[in-house]
Amino acid sequence: MGHIYIKDIQFADESKIQDGVLYVAKEELEKTALEDEKIKGVSFDIARPGESVRITPVKDVIEPRVKVEGRGGVFPGVISKVDTVGSGKTYALKGMAVVTAGRIVGFQEGIIDMTGPGAQYTPFSQTLNLVMVCEPVDDIKQHDYEKAVRFAGFRVAAYIGELARSLTPDETKVYETCTIKEGLEKYPELPRVAYVQMLQSQGLLHDTYVYGVDAKKIVPTILSPTEIMDGAIVSGNCVSACDKNPTYVHQNNPVVHDLFEEHGKTLNFVCQIITNENVYLADKQRSSDWTAKLCKMLDLDGVIVSQEGFGNPDTDLIMNCKKIEAEGVKTVIITDEYAGRDGKSQSLADADAAADAVVTGGNANEVIILPKLDKVIGTLDYVTKIAGASEETLREDGSLEVELQVITGATNETGFNKLSAR
C-alpha cells in the first residue's frame, strides 16, 4: 500500500494532484457522476476539518484508491472487472474522502459535523471531504436511487484515485499473507487467529457487496485480508449511521490492520472470514453453522467477531459466538449497545454466557445537542426523520437534539470509534 497524503482539496480547471493538493475539475466530476441515467443532477462541495459545516443526509464515505500493480483493479465487480484482488501494489489518497449525500432513502442516513461536539464523535470530521449531493430522476424507486448514488460515488472515487497512478507515495506499507501451511511452519508457537466479519444483509436497502455480489446471496467464506484494501467489500446499506460500515471503513478496517500489526509477533493472523446477517431463522442457523465449521477446519485458537447493525443481527452475533466457542475456539465480540437514553435497558437483543469477552462501542441511544452551524451541505429537510431523531429534533435556535446513532461513525465518550472497530 502506497499512501499519498492530501493536504487540501481545491476546485480548478484541471484535475491533478500537485504538492499534496488535490485539484478537481467540477465538469469532469459531474460527467463521471451522471453516467447513470437515474441521476439527473449532482453538485460538489468541499468540507474541511474545523469549518462550521454540517453534511447531511450522508449515504457513504469512500477513500480514493488506484491499483498500479497486480491483478485486477479497485472495487472489483463494481467498477473494475471481477478479478481476485489483494496482491501487488495499490495507492490510497490519505486524509481525504468522497462523501455521497442526497435526498433521503428510508430513514437511516447520517450527519457529519466538521466542528463542535458532533465532530468529536465522527472520524470524518478529520478528513478533507469532497461531498457530492445527487438528485434523482422523478418517480424513481428508492432502491434504484440508493444504488445509483452509491455507484456514482465509487466512479468518482476511482476517477480521483487514477490521478495518483504516476505519483511517488509519501509512505509505503507492506502486508504479507501466508498460506495455511506457510503460517504453521513459520509461526508454530503463536496462536492462530482469524477475523470473522458479519456483513449487513438483512433485506432491501440493507446491502453489502462482495466483488459486486449482494452479501445476502453468499455463504460464509474465506478472504485474504488484503482483498478489502482493493475494495472487494463495499457498502450499500441504510442501517443507522453509527451502525453501518461506510466503504471507507471496509477499505481501512482497523481490526484487519491491528491484526496485521501483531502478525508474527503475538499471533498468526490466518485469514478473514466473512458471513452475513439474515432475516429468517434457517438462514441464521446455516450461516452461523458454516462460520463455526470454517473456524474448526482452519484449526483456529481464537477469533474476533464484529457486528454491523443492531437488534435482529444481535441474534446472528450470539449464534456465531456460541457455535465458535463450542468448537473450542475462543471468541471476542465487538458490538455497540442500544440501552435506552437512560442507559438502563437491555443492551443487546440476545445474549449468552459464552459471550464473556466483549468490546463495546458505547450506547447509541445517548442524547447529544448539536449546535447550529453556519453551512449545511445537503439538506435539513429530513433531519427529523432519520433514526435517532424525532419531530422535536430541530429546535427553534437551529440546534439539533439527537441520539448518537445519527452521527456517521459515532464514537462513545472514550473516543473508541464504533465504525472503525466494527
The Cα angle at residue 254 between residues 244 and 215, in degrees rounded to 5: 45
* 264: its cell numbers: 508474527
What's 55's DSSP letter?
Answer: E
Among residues 178, 238, 242, 321, the one annotated as catalytic is 238
Give the strand pairing for 39-47 and 367-370: unpaired
Residue linked to cell 453468499: 218
CA 62/CA 243 separation, integer angstroms: 16
134 is catalytic: no
Residue linked to cell 443526509: 57
User: Rounded to the nearest 5°, which phi and psi values hold at 79?
Assistant: -105, -50
DSSP 74-112: SSBTTTB-S---SSSEEEEEETEEEEEEES-STT--EEE
CA 389/CA 165 separation, integer angstroms: 42
374 neighbors 53 (Cβ within 8 angstroms):
yes
Catalytic machinery residues? 238
